[in-house]
Structure 1
């Protein structure tokens, strides 16, 4: 509170709702915002679906997993973010983006293996991979159009609404098939994000 901050008034007009949504005409920005929408949704799919999978397939108590298992997944995310801050000092963001998505795909595929140890390993690996996807999508998009950082930030934050729309899709699929097959939804989501690693920025506004 005592720190002196030199505030500088920007020359450009402040961001508005219209200026934010106008950026969606930029294909790169639109795809990356959808990437955030999908990412948040599939992260919630995992944090809610994994306890049910372990309970139904391996008899692990749901209350125990709720306390410890989600911590297991999010400890992997926390670890991945610490490692990411180090890795990004010598690896380019786009290259690291591809690496972390590949790790997420591997982890999700392991969850489909009908073995408790392999499934748990898949959960942890997925957490490591998921750790840096949100900040990478965010920073890569902002870096492509730094002069529109406010508008991009607004769109990205709005896109976390994916957490309300995608998990019910997983629930519907799981109800129609099985809990394990419900994980096809987050797998499809990470496949979409994998495609984003090959999309090049279009910097024109």
Structure 2
């Protein structure tokens, strides 16, 4: 599905004059959505050890949290695109916020009845709302202001996404994981009710704002015929296909590492700390990614993107090797440092994969977004490895993923068109 900006001479898509203040307000609210996306995703890192302890799950069973959350990207994205095309982006945002709020509310009966399947269902509904929000809201960021500052606005919103991933573990550690070590099992079962009720209220307020207060510009959603106009399907571009695999393994590896952090830090030969204490270190992991994003952006003015991707993947490979082989503080800080080097990988792989696609760019972008489903499958592999061997050795799974990312930055990114 392609998004294009209406001609500013024919409508009010680009804010000018007295409308500028109104659209600045819209951008602020849209930016809050990016914060919420990051927050919800990182909160899963808290939810996984909580549910594992509450239901005495194996690591493989606990990774079903990621499977249900990220499978929504694969299942919901296409129908969400069709829905938004029919009703418009503004109503799509309202619908996405409403579904996300409903998903948060479902955590209340799930906690009351203590049924793991209900938690997973609530997560899928929540992720479905987030997916619809992303399909609806992303295009507006590029047009809410002067066209020459579109890249700056996108970077700003992404920074708030990283801020959400940094804050969420602290929030979850205080309101959720503290119950595991200080309360009986009955209280622990209801620990998620308050935080997810607060999230539901936040989504509900945002729904009202977009429904009644915020006015958004119109966006033309005409779809070009990619294959007939470019002469090639995106699938014929080898670097795009290899890039999709790169997105698949990167998202999967990042989610896997984040999901196992708390349990890994709780190992007696690593840090031996409680889940509540470990949650603070998860914030350091995601905070490193936020800082790394700014450092990486500066370095890209001097270093080619593919070379920086290779350098970062090598650093993560080395850090994971230390994580697997070492103990104590060395292993702990090695795994926490992975977040810093993760920072530039997703947008770099994404941009390299879309290079020189021409009118096939829209189709290629859809393929890459679908590859985010790697966050559903790679953690399952690491969970199985943790059950068969141990938590520390299980980091071999993301280590292999980063090897592939290094390959992509070294040679896989190079443009090559496979003739049909």
Same fold (TM over 0.5): yes
Q: CA deviation at 1:172?
A: 0.5
Cα–Cα, structure 1 residues 119 and 202, in superposed 2: closer, same or farther, change >3 Å?
same
- 1:41 paired residue among 222, 232, 252: 252
Give yes or no for contact 1:107–1:124 (8 Å, CA) kept in 2: no
Please show how residues 31-180 of structure 1 align to structure 2 within 5 Å: 31-57=242-268, 58-66=271-279, 68-180=280-392
Task: Determine the structure 2 residue equivalent to 1:201.
Answer: 415
- Could you tell me how far apart the structure 2 residues matched to 1:86 and 1:99 are? 15
Please show how residues 1-20 of structure 1 align to structure 2 within 5 Å: 3=15, 13-14=224-225
Q: CA deviation at 1:115?
A: 2.4
Give yes or no for contact 1:110–1:121 (8 Å, CA) kept in 2: no
- Could you tell me how far apart the structure 2 residues matched to 1:80 and 1:115 are? 25
Number of corresponding residues: 200
- Could you tell me how far apart the structure 1 residues matched to 2:282 and 2:386 are? 20
Cα–Cα, structure 1 residues 8 and 160, in superposed 2: closer, same or farther, change >3 Å?
closer
Give yes or no for contact 2:252–2:377 (8 Å, CA) kept in 1: yes
Cα–Cα, structure 1 residues 116 and 101, in superposed 2: closer, same or farther, change >3 Å?
same
Please give the TM-score of this superposition, normalised by the length of structure 2.
Answer: 0.44
Give yes or no for contact 2:281–2:336 (8 Å, CA) kept in 1: no
Q: CA deviation at 1:195?
A: 1.5
Query: Which has the larger Rg?
Result: 2
Cα–Cα, structure 1 residues 71 and 8, in superposed 2: closer, same or farther, change >3 Å?
closer
1 or 2 for the larger relative contact order (CA 8 Å, sep ≥6)?
1
Q: CA deviation at 1:146?
A: 3.8
Give yes or no for contact 1:44–1:167 (8 Å, CA) kept in 2: yes
Q: Which runs of no fewer than 5 residues in structure 1 stay unpaired?
A: none
Cα–Cα, structure 1 residues 43 and 3, in superposed 2: closer, same or farther, change >3 Å?
same
Please give the TM-score of this superposition, normalised by the length of structure 1.
Answer: 0.86
